[in-house]
Amino acid sequence: MEGYQQLLSLFNGHYSDLVEEYRQGKNLANEGDESIAYLRTKCKLELWVYKNGCKIQIMGSIHNPSTTANPKYYYSIAPCESPFLAYDPNIYDGNPNVDDDKLKSLYPDLSPVCWPWAEAYSEAFERWEEKPWEEKQCSKFGVFPDARSQIAFDICGMIISCWLALQPDVGHVRYQSGVYTEDDYVLRGDNVDTVFKEFLDDAWKLL
């Protein structure tokens, strides 16, 4: 679908520093596979886009699994919160926040993407804070100036969510945007392809 290509091009344009490789074309994996776009980020997440869907996987080795037998973490990502990563409050009691040191120790491979992404929100917030009150009230996309900036930011957030959801010690990741739908995007290892496609479909409607 041409819309998927445009959305990934949009992300690559805004966050090229986080991308190791991006290609568009036909049959990018092998002859007859019908892939139309390929993206690999610095956290080694690979995204293949096809005419009717996508495939997401992590390239190579991932972080060392926890020494705890069969650990399960359930996370929530809220871009407007600090810290942005928390344990899902629907499952955990007490302080849900996952501090920066904990995140770095558990998932060091995610650092090349998640910290620049968090910084991008902080910088957008600072620019938004300088605007007149009336202009803030009329903003359709929170701290971002337009739909394209919002979508590129959320594609990055969903990539981070997919990466986490594919870890063997993670039960699910709940990505909270609130822009495209009232519901959160809940990603698990067995549904990242489907949920990411749903997000792309929702994002395309915003353009």
Return phi, psi of residue 175, to 5°. Answer: -95, 120
Find out whether 73 and 92 touch, Cβ atoms under 8 Å.
no
pLDDT digits (tens, 9 = 90+) for 57-96: 998 645 444 444 465 789 999 888 778 899 988 888 777 8
Q: How does 67-88 read in b/e, with b if 16+ C-beta sit within 10 Å? A: eeeeeebbbbbbbeeeebbbbb
pLDDT at residue 71, as a whole number = 54
CB atoms within 10 A of CB 104: 13
Q: What is the pTM of this model?
A: 0.89
pLDDT digits (tens, 9 = 90+) for 12-54: 999 999 999 999 877 665 545 677 889 999 999 999 988 888 9
Q: Residue 172, SS3?
A: strand
User: Is 187's pLDDT higher than 90?
Assistant: yes
